[in-house]
Amino acid sequence: MNRHFTLLLELTRKDIKTRYFDSFSGLAWLIIQPMLLLLIYSFVFVIIFKARVPEADLTGFVPYLAIAFWPWTAFSESILRSADSVTENSEIIGKIALPAEVFPGAAVTSTFVMHMIGYLAVLIVLQATGTAIQWLYLPLAVLLMGVLFVAALSLGLLISSISVFVRDLKHALPALMMLWFFSTPILYSISLIPERYRYLLALNPFYYFSSTIREMLLAGTWRPGMKDALAIFLVLVSFGIAVAFFRRVRPRFEDFF
């Protein structure tokens, strides 16, 4: 187990170095790309459409969006990157006896680590520009991001293993993630949705994370309850199912490489 964990850390370190530190553009793009998207969404919804989010009246639309946007970026990008993590390493998996789950694990871990560094930078910028970030709740938000990481890892394991058998899945995945993004109250508030449809959005798994992180870092409130226990329980169950599924289909990988 220690050997496998060491391998995971080494693959994560190598991935971070290759993607972000071997070139200045890679590290800069980590911040620039989400910032550009944030500016575009803010311009379209605030300037053009004059959108008003009741919950953002005190903080402003940009902080309201940014607080939930960065966790989503880490979550979605880690899933997209893990999709072909097994097939890209098919030669290694086919020749060396090692746990193949370390490859999607490294893809998810490296993406989360770097985006969380970017997230901290964004929080500092928001504070410097007048947004009252509730720093006392940051440790709780970090713990919640840890739960989100496990959720991303669960999906990464499932999708990377299925992609071995269904190669077109990685091409459909960006569109599916975009659909998931717009069906989650990140750009808008759930209060703007007709009441009879709100329960559908509330069933969206990411809604729990976006709304809770906003409560913590913007409002400085958090009332732990059954929804928190249920969310953690479901994530842990999903992770167990994902690991079991991955290991069940692992012996068939070489037949499809």
DSSP letter (8 states) at residue 218? I
Q: Does 202 score more than 80 pLDDT?
A: no
- Label residues 145-169 b or e (16+ Cβ within 10 Å = b): bebbbebbbbbbbbbbbbbbeeeeb
- Could you state, in order of their start, the residue ranges of all structural domains in the chain? 2-256
In tens, the pLDDT along 208-248 reads 999 999 999 998 888 888 989 999 999 999 999 999 999 99
How many residues are given for the chain?
257
CB atoms within 10 A of CB 221: 10
Lookup result for tokens 């964990």: 5
State the alpha helices, DSSP H only, in the chain.
Answer: 2-16, 24-42, 61-82, 85-88, 90-95, 102-128, 138-165, 169-182, 198-202, 205-214, 226-249, 253-256
The pLDDT value given to residue 27: 61
Global confidence as pTM: 0.89
Whole-angstrom Cα distance, residue 134 to residue 55? 16
Average pLDDT of the chain, as a whole number: 86
In tens, the pLDDT along 53-99 reads 777 666 788 888 889 999 999 999 999 999 999 998 888 887 777 78
In tens, the pLDDT along 136-154 reads 999 999 999 999 999 999 9
